[in-house]
């Protein structure tokens, strides 16, 4: 699904790369809201992600220096990483997820606040699919909006971190920032 301009043409998604304490993040937005956040946004990753976005959204992403959604997302991410933001309010474009994965991610976003965690099984129960703990893990891995939609807050029922698309060190850093894990001693 793509936005169209007043003249009927497709509106290009906008993108930027933002430096953060967990490394560079690629942020992309459409006219509806923030559509993706990608970790480890080096040049090769950016090229690959922009090509994938063009295919999925039907328009070539353009650098978005003055895009208001990207500016809001950047402000909120900066505040989050400083410890001053606990809930994101930037509008989200959910068009890169649907079905079960979309339900799980929306439930996660609405029900697992800053500074807390949830188990894969508990999240499966919350979406009405009690046998779907592994499928919840797949949904976390497909999250197009990590950090903003906090898949880092989903952990194993036995207390293990579980997996994370941004890497376990990034997951640890985010959970430490939120006070869930203690800061490393050295």
Distance, CA of 166 to CA of 92 (rounded, Å): 20
C-alpha distances out from residue 169 to 5, 23, 87, Å: 41, 11, 22
Residue the block writes with tokens 């996660």: 108
Distance, CA of 60 to CA of 2 (rounded, Å): 11
Give backbone dihedrals phi and psi of 10, rounded to 5 degrees, phi first: -80, 135
The catalytically annotated residue of 46, 112, 132, 151 is 151
Token pair belonging to 173: 């850093």
Active site residue 151: yes
Which active-site residues does the annotation give? 151
């Amino acid at each position: 699904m793509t936005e169209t301009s007043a003249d009927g043409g497709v509106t290009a998604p906008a993108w930027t790369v933002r430096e953060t304490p967990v490394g560079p993040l690629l942020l992309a937005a459409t006219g509806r809201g923030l559509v993706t956040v990608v970790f480890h946004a080096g040049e090769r990753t950016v090229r690959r992600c922009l090509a994938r976005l063009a295919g999925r959204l039907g328009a070539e992403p353009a650098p978005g220096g003055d895009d208001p959604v990207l500016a809001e997302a950047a402000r909120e991410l900066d505040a989050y990483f400083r410890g001053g933001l606990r809930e994101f309010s930037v509008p989200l474009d959910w068009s890169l997820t649907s079905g079960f994965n979309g339900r799980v991610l929306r439930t996660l976003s609405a029900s697992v606040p800053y500074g807390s965690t949830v188990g894969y099984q508990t999240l499966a129960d919350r979406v009405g699919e009690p046998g779907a703990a592994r499928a919840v893990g797949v949904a976390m891995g497909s999250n197009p909006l990590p950090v903003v939609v906090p898949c880092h807050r989903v952990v194993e029922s036995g207390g293990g971190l579980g997996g994370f698309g941004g890497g376990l060190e990034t997951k640890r850093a985010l959970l430490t920032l939120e006070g869930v894990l203690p800061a490393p001693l050295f």
